[in-house]
Amino acid sequence: MAAFLVLQAARFGDLVQSKRLILTLQEQGRVCLGVDAGLAPLARLLYPGAEVFGLRLHGQPGAAALAENRTVFRQWRETAFQAVYNCNFSPVTAAICRLFEPEIVMGYRPAQAPESAILRSQWARLAFRLSERRLCSPLNLVDFWGHFASSPLAAEQVNPLARPGGQGLGVVLAGRESRRSLPLPLLASILQTLFGLLDGPEVYLLGAKAEQPAAHKLQRLLPAKIQEKVNDLSGKTDWPGLIHAVEGLDALLTPDTGVMHLAAHLGVPVLAFFLSSAWCHETGPYGRGHVVWQTSRSCAPCLESAPCRHNVACLEALQGKELLRSLAAAVRPEARIRVQLPDTLQFWRSDLDALGGVLRLEGGQDAHAPQRAFTRALLAEFLHLPEQSGAHAVGTASPELIDPEERAALRRWLCHDADWMLPPGRYC
């Protein structure tokens, strides 16, 4: 039986978003999955068919932790892997890849010289260019990693169709970056509207122990009839408990978080709010049945590591009554409610095509839709996918709406000749 190694040393959400790649390889043989030790219990729950190895990779590992790593590395050296998929542009995982012959390492591998350099495969180089023009980026991270493998699993087979499960409304209190989270008064207003639209469900507050003060403040902002239905789970769930709390929910209200990706993995409808540096076309919920509100000021999406020069002005687009009306359109699609949004706010529904996850515009304006559609068509061409996978990718936008000169400029930017000479997983 063929054996494969996947290295995913990043965060909670990244582990969930590696699903298309991992499931693809599981259909072909045995999969070993190397993750940060703190995420190993979650990885075993998400991917029961994989052999999970927890590694002490971050901080300053002590002697005992380094000994654990060496034990794992010896086991890997003795395994005849057909391919090693390094998902992280990281000196740590690149160093691990020196255990293996260079020709079997996919994604990122260490250079021979200088030793600190990391090489990207053709596909990784192509996708990295999208970070230069994020407004034109149409590639979900699930599909970026999924296409590390040739002929990845069909997008429809990754996550189940999202449907209400009858178990109430989940509310993620905050994301890792405060700028990408909703202020508590706004979150309370949205929660009150959803509570009415969903006929008074049980409400579950989700977050780490650090979010417990926020949970208490949020509850004080809610009317008594909602407070009676609130179950504060912040800081009270381990990995199995978190999965139990999320599965079966009617919906999950959340910023861009790992819990959001977990909900999509479980088939729970996601109501996601993306602002600041969060960009829904890159890390939006994967699969069908989710909705996303994306703020779209001229400065968005911004750089997460840079301070905001506008005092998080993108929040202004989420303050009006138009947003609350769009919530009704989100949870009651059968009502066909027309959505009118300010110029700086977009309302999207998630969908799938041959390339993978895609968003279709339901409300608001998207000035960059033709460019994004054309870029998606170029990615499909590079991967030898059917032409229609890019042509109908973004709402009703067509790549034909941009003039030939701009089309040629986009092609030159994205498609360097050397990247198109070999299969996507190869290096040159």
Question: What is the per-residue pLDDT for 394?
Answer: 43
Spans in the chain with pLDDT lower than 70: 60-61, 298, 304-305, 309-311, 313, 335, 387-400, 417-428
Tokens linked to 360: 């279709």
Between strands 118-120 and 105-110, the pairing is antiparallel
Q: Is residue 425 part of a domain?
A: no
From 311, 341, 363, the end of a domain falls on 363
Cβ atoms 380, 387 nearer than 8 A: yes
Which pairs with CB-CB distance under 8 Å and at least 24 residues apart come from 211-217? 211/173, 211/174, 211/235, 214/173, 214/174, 214/184, 215/173, 217/184
Task: Specify the pLDDT at position 397.
Answer: 60
pTM confidence score: 0.93
Domain count, the chain: 2
204 and 342, same domain (yes or no): yes
Cα 54 vs. chain centroid, distance in angstroms?
Answer: 22
Place of tokens 């590696």: 18
What are the φ and ψ backbone dihedral angles of 337, each rounded to 5 degrees? -75, 130
Sign of the four-CA dihedral 156, 157, 163, 168: negative
Q: In which residue are the tokens 């990281």 written?
A: 90
The closest of 300, 292, 268 to 359, measured between CA atoms, is 292
CATH number at residue 75: 3.40.50.2000
Q: Please name every residue paired with 106 in a beta bridge, in sequence order, or none if there are none.
A: 85
Among 305, 331, 363, identify where a domain stops: 363
217/332 same-domain check: yes
Residue 39 falls within a domain, yes or no?
yes
Asked if residue 139 is part of any domain, the answer here is no
230 pairs with which residues across the strands? 203
Q: Which domain covers residue 113, as residue numbers? A: 2-119
* Residues 216, 220: Cα–Cα separation, whole Å: 7
Tens-digit pLDDT profile for residues 91-128: 999 999 999 999 999 999 999 878 779 999 999 998 89
Could you tell me which of 251, 310, 246, 256 has the C-alpha nearest to residue 285?
256
Residues 182 and 273 in one domain: yes
- Whether residues 229 and 302 share a domain: the answer is yes
At 318 the pLDDT is 85
- What is the model's pLDDT at position 322? 87
Cβ 169 vs Cβ 250: under 8 Å: yes
Q: What is the DSSP letter of 355?
A: S
Claim to verify: residue 98 and residue 186 sit in the same structural domain: no
Q: What is the pLDDT of residue 211?
A: 96
